[in-house]
Amino acid sequence: MKAVIYMNVLIADPDRDFLSSYKTLLELSENTVQTVFDGTQVMSRLAEEKFDAVILNENIPRIKCKDIVKSLNDDGIPVIVITQRKERFVTADDCIRLPFLPNELREKLDHVCKKRAVNEIG
């Protein structure tokens, strides 16, 4: 049987339709999902709660995406950046290019979390 990982995920994206659709979708798979639409919210939410993974759009307003990625790296939280130029985010755990299908994001999310889990145990 495939191991199912239940995660606490933070999605940060300026598009609210995107946020609501992926929140619902990931919650249907028993994950808990928080959504935010600007950079300051990302930082305050990160201070409040521990997340298993963050999905972050490069066009997030207020705080530079690069800075957020850096702070996530420092905290050891896996991050997937939604970007068209992945070469700009070499420290991110993974990048995904728009447009994508739900499966593509799910696979990356699983992959990133598994990799992190293996690293921590190993």
Partner 1 sequence: MRLDKVRKKFVLYAELSVFILLTVLLSVINVINFTMVAEDADHMTEMISLSSGKFFKEETPPENSDSVESKKERMKKFGMMGPDSPEMRASLRFFTYAFDKNGSAELIEYRMSALTQSDAIDLAKTLVKESTGWTNLTYRYRVYEKDKKIYVTVIDQSRELLPSYRTLIISAIGELLVLLISYLVLVKVGKSLFKQFEEADRKQKYFIANIEQDFKMPLTVISANTEVLERKNGSDEQTKAIDRQVRKMTGLVKDLGALAIFEEKDMTITDTDLSAVMREFTENQKQVFEAKNIELTADIAPDITLEGDEQALKKILSELAENALRYSLTKTSFTLRKQGDRIIISQANDTDLPNGSVDQIFDRFTTLANAKDKNTAGLGLSYVKDIVKAHNGRVSAKVVNGIFTVEIAL
Contact 89, 69 (CB under 8 A): yes
Task: Based on the shown chain and the rule CB under 8 A, indicate whether residue 28 belongs to the binding site for partner 1.
Answer: yes
Binding-site member from 6, 8, 21, 61 for partner 1 (CB under 8 A): 21
Give the position of tokens 């600007």: 38
Q: Which of residues 41 and 57 has its CB atom nearest to partner 1 in the complex?
A: 57
In the region spanning residues 74 to 113, those forming contacts with partner 1, defined by CB under 8 A, are 84, 97-102
Task: Based on the shown chain and the rule CB under 8 A, indicate whether residue 37 belongs to the binding site for partner 1.
Answer: no
